[in-house]
Chain A
Amino acid sequence: AQSVSQHNHHVILSEAASLELGCNYSYGGTVNLFWYVQYPGQHLQLLLKYFSGDPLVKGIKGFEAEFIKSKFSFNLRKPSVQWSDTAEYFCAVNPKGTYKYIFGTGTRLKVLA
């Protein structure tokens, strides 16, 4: 079955620390990949996306992600987090040829000021 794993369920960091959130998926075909962020009390917003080409993609607010096809991974990174990055982060996989997403279970990030 298709699935997306986010192994870090809760992450607590101090401001200026570096962030890496893991995302692994199981699907044999070609995929589009997304990271969404949900700030407290708000709806999901797109952070970044990968469709093809350069496997290192940059998104908003200094976030980036790297697609490693051989590892079925799409990890999210930020060199220096801010208190305002406190949110829940979701990885999503879209099998090409469909419009559906498969979401991971999410990672709750808390950044301490």
Chain B
Amino acid sequence: DAEITQSPRHKITETGRQVTLACHQTWNHNNMFWYRQDLGHGLRLIHYSYGVQDTNKGEVSDGYSVSRSNTEDLPLTLESAASSQTSVYFCASSKSGTESYEQYFGPGTRLTVT
């Protein structure tokens, strides 16, 4: 069955360190998204990609970067982790076209920055 996976599921890191969160989907979807989930804010879009070599900033992109070298993966990098980036991070994907804009979500990564 197709799926979307994230790793690690839990991560503790120190302020200032670079951290990369992995997202891998086997849906063969063109579109991929990274969100962070915080109490009182719901899910906020960090970055998104509509295909290989395409990346775009979301509403809370400062301090984060992504790259899309293939269809399956969209790693999220925190260049220099800050305590404000402690959050739960969700990756999602959806297919292009006019039939469905449903996003499929991964299980999430809980990141703690100390």
Is chain B found bound to chain A in the same assembly?
Answer: yes
Q: Which residues of A pack against B, CB within 8 Å?
A: 6, 9, 32, 34, 36, 42-46, 49, 51, 90, 94, 99-101, 103-106
Return the chain A residue nearest B97 by Cβ. A99
What sequence of 0s and 1s flags, for each residue 66-104 of chain B, a beta carbon within 8 Å of any chain A beta carbon?
000000000000000000000000101010100001110
Given known A43-B90, A44-B90, contact A103–B43 (CB-CB < 8 A): yes
What's the tally of chain B residues with a CB closer than 8 Å to chain A? 23
Q: Which residues of B pack against A, CB within 8 Å?
A: 31, 33, 35, 40-45, 48, 50, 58, 90, 92, 94, 96, 101-103, 105-108
With beta carbons under 8 angstroms apart, the residue of A34, A45, A103 that contacts B44 is A103
Provide the residues of chain B in CB contact with A6, threshold 8 Å.
Answer: 42
Given known A99-B31, A99-B50, contact A43–B44 (CB-CB < 8 A): no
Given known A32-B101, A43-B105, A43-B108, contact A100–B45 (CB-CB < 8 A): yes
